[in-house]
Amino acid sequence: MFEIQKLIWHTYCFTIGVDMFYDASKALHTNKQTAFSAGVHTGVEVYYMPFSFLMHIGVYTFHAHAEHQFFNRVALRYHARQSYCIQLGLKAHATTADFLEIGIGYTFPNIRNSNNEAKK
């Protein structure tokens, strides 16, 4: 996932981003190319340092199985020292959970400094 954030208020961000997914369960039953999908998302992130809660809604731009056009995500991020974060999320299609996500993130230093100044 690649994401750009715009700080709206000192604890609230608007986000847009690009996602790539690999579903290993589909790779077992079909060829491996159909296990890949990609999409774009928009959402919000609310900070309560060192944690943040995010909600995204997205649309698939490449999806081998056309049963779903949209996806949504809720996640909890822990912002560790310096520029790193750890994320635990749930990707879903409407009210049906698709899979759990675990991720590690990095914020570039010049962006991190401007966000930290705005949060003070």
pLDDT, tens digit, for every residue of 63-98?
A: 766 678 899 999 999 998 778 999 999 999 988 898
Task: Count Cβ atoms below 10 Å from residue 117 Cβ, excluding itself.
Answer: 9
The reported pLDDT for the residue numbered 88 is 97
Residues 83, 112: contact at Cβ < 8 Å? yes
The reported pLDDT for the residue numbered 118 is 47
The reported pLDDT for the residue numbered 30 is 65
The residue among 22, 40, 18, 46 whose CA lies nearest residue 32 is 22
pTM: 0.79
- Rounded Cα gap, residues 111 and 107, in angstroms: 7
Percent composition of the chain: helix, strand, coil (DSSP 3-state, to 5) = 20, 65, 20
Residues of the chain short of pLDDT 70, as ranges, are 26-33, 64-66, 110-120
- Rounded Cα gap, residues 12 and 119, in angstroms: 9
**What are phi and psi for residue 92, nearest 5 degrees?**
-140, 165
